[in-house]
Amino acid sequence: MSEAMIKYIVTGGAGLIGSNLVAALNARGETDILVVDNLNHPMKRRNLEGLRYAGYLDKRDLRAALRACEYGSVETIFFLVTCTATTERNLEYLADNNTAYTRELCEWALAGGRRFIYASSAATYGGGEHGYSDAPEIIPLLRPLNAYGQSKQDFDLIALREGWLDRIAGLKYFNVFGPNEHHKGEMRSVVHKAHGQIRRTGSLQLFRSHRPDYRDGEQTRDFVYVRDAVAVTLFFHDHQEASGIFNCGTGQARTWLDLGRAVFAAMGLEPNIEFIDMPPTLREHYQYHTEADLTRLRACGCNHVFMTLEAGVHDYVTSDLARQPE
């Protein structure tokens, strides 16, 4: 692989958002892409099938390569490789993988005048006590509910403190779902899990509410289809004058019942939903509501029209999940 060929680095390039981003770049005729990821998982390798890219590098080797001044031709880094497990409790691992690694690549990009676009998370909003505005003055007030969210918040704070937010773009992805998430185990979207459960049993189990202000199944999330998440990500590549931290969601919260019904509809079935207790260990760290405030995203010129939950679920189920083996 010739270093002179590399125009884009996509870390997490075999993951959900990353592999769909590589596909979108391919659709633009771009193939000068270095995919960075950990491909020990055989199902992750499947995500790269049919994609065109100049080379692959294990994520453990990228730091050394950049320190050795390799890949000087790179114009943009899409930093999407993180630990996304909201239940992860290894603080040292999260601090290195989600915070220190992000900082090191950001500093490398800025030193070379390169565009740096990175994945933050809606998990930084915690219980939503301060709303879901991505305004810079709100960032220091946020209190994530889990270590994963805190690790993403930590880098957001670093970027704010170092004055980088006028040169980089961070995206607080909300609940992203879509093709190429089968490798994620328990961190797969509920759309993916629901489809498998319905296909096996004919019914769907959702967590009941353990708060009096939310009825069972009416906890809400901002569900965003991966193709929309990729479109917004590419907006910040195409418009480098737009910098800062921005929400990446539809701006419309929907209930888990809405999602469950959408999956049944996409499968051509009548809803059959029951509720089960949420594990006690999850209850104190559970977000009952998220909804992206898109004020700043729209103000910077991103007018992307997001798919409805029903349309995204239908596309995902019929074009991908229905074709997967049971």
What does the pLDDT read at residue 82? 58
Q: How confident is the model at residue 89 (pLDDT cuts 50, 70, 90)?
A: low
Stretch among 3-12, 14-23, 191-200 having the lowest mean pLDDT: 3-12
Residues sharing a CB contact under 8 Å with residue 228, sequence separation 6 or more, in sequence order:
250, 304, 306, 307, 312
Which H/E stretch holds residue 223? strand 223-225
Query: How confident is the model over 256-266, as pLDDT tens digits?
Result: 999 999 999 99
Q: Which domains are seen in the chain, by residue range?
A: 3-176+223-251+291-306 (3.40.50.720), 179-221+253-290+312-323 (3.90.25.10)
Whether 84 shows a pLDDT value over 70: the answer reads: no
Q: What is the mean pLDDT of residues 229-255?
A: 98
**Cα distances (angstroms) measured from residue 230 to each of 116, 146, 302:** 15, 26, 13
Active-site residue set: 148, 184
Token representation of residue 90: 């290894």
Q: How confident is the model at residue 1 (pLDDT cuts 50, 70, 90)?
A: very low
Whether 83 shows a pLDDT value over 60: the answer reads: no
Q: What is the mean pLDDT of residues 151-163?
A: 95
Query: How confident is the model over 188-204, as pLDDT tens digits?
Result: 999 999 999 999 999 99
Place of tokens 């993916």: 192
Long-range contacts, stretch 107-112, CB < 8 angstroms, 24+ apart: 108/66, 108/77, 109/74, 109/77, 109/168, 110/164, 110/167, 110/168, 112/72, 112/74
Q: Which residues of 56-67 are buried (b: 16+ CB within 10 A; e: fewer)?
A: bbebeebeeebe
Q: What is the mean pLDDT of residues 194-218?
A: 96
What does the pLDDT read at residue 282? 87
Q: How confident is the model at residue 63 (pLDDT cuts 50, 70, 90)?
A: confident
The Cα–Cα gap between 313 and 12 comes to 23
What does the pLDDT read at residue 86? 44
Write the DSSP symbol of residue 99: I
The Cα–Cα gap between 53 and 1 comes to 10
Please, are residues 79 and 116 in contact by the beta-carbon 8 Å criterion? yes
Prediction pTM value: 0.94
Q: 173 has which bridge partners?
A: 121, 248
Half-sphere exposure (Cβ direction) of 215: Cα atoms closer than 13 Å: 2
Query: How confident is the model over 289-299, as pLDDT tens digits?
Result: 999 999 999 99
Whether 4 shows a pLDDT value over 70: the answer reads: no
What does the pLDDT read at residue 90? 58
58 or 220, higher pLDDT? 220
**Cα distances (angstroms) measured from residue 256 to each of 9, 98, 105, 221, 230:** 35, 28, 36, 8, 23
Q: How confident is the model at residue 207 (pLDDT cuts 50, 70, 90)?
A: very high
Q: Among residues of the chain, what percentage have pLDDT more than 70?
A: 94
